[in-house]
Amino acid sequence: MTNEQNIPRPTIDQEAVLTHLRAARRRPTPVAIWTAVADIPVLLAEIERLSRLLSRTRWDFADLLAAARAALDADQDGEADPLTYLRDAVAEHQAWTPPDDGELAE
């Protein structure tokens, strides 16, 4: 039940990066090597972006797991509305929104 529209997509052209790398390995001319080297800042930016997404995903998961555990404990303790913990956690959860062009350029 995944909404494809909300899945973060890579911001780099992986095929182009691989093509540059293969060309530099096959025929290491200065132009081919510099073209492959020029991909490094783009790759580093993508690693940083993915690292931030992973960190946020881990925090979101931890928050939702804590709420689920609290709801289970509340149910076991006989609270009147144990799902309150989950409702609150879900209400605070913000949907992922794709970055604008300015954020991609950072």
Query: Is the residue at 7 inside a domain?
Result: no
Spatial separation of the C-alpha atoms in residues 51 and 56, rounded to whole Å: 9
Query: Is the residue at 98 inside a domain?
Result: yes
pLDDT digits (tens, 9 = 90+) for 67-83: 999 999 999 999 999 99
Residue 21 structural domain:
13-104
Spatial separation of the C-alpha atoms in residues 13 and 26, rounded to whole Å: 20
pTM recorded for the entire structure = 0.68
pLDDT class of 102 with cuts at 50, 70, 90: low
Q: What average pLDDT does the structure give for the chain?
A: 86
Query: Is the residue at 8 inside a domain?
Result: no
Q: Which ranges in 6-104 belong to alpha helices (H)?
A: 14-26, 30-76, 84-92, 101-104
Rg (CA), the chain: 22
> Is pLDDT at 10 greater than 50 in this prediction?
yes
Query: Is the residue at 3 inside a domain?
Result: no
Report the number of distinct structural domains present in the chain.
1
Q: What is the pLDDT of residue 104?
A: 47
> Is pLDDT at 2 greater than 80 in this prediction?
no
pLDDT digits (tens, 9 = 90+) for 30-53: 999 999 999 999 999 999 999 998
> Is pLDDT at 19 greater than 50 in this prediction?
yes
pLDDT digits (tens, 9 = 90+) for 48-64: 999 998 998 899 899 99
C-alpha dist (Å) from residue 81 to 4, 27, 67, 74: 33, 68, 13, 8
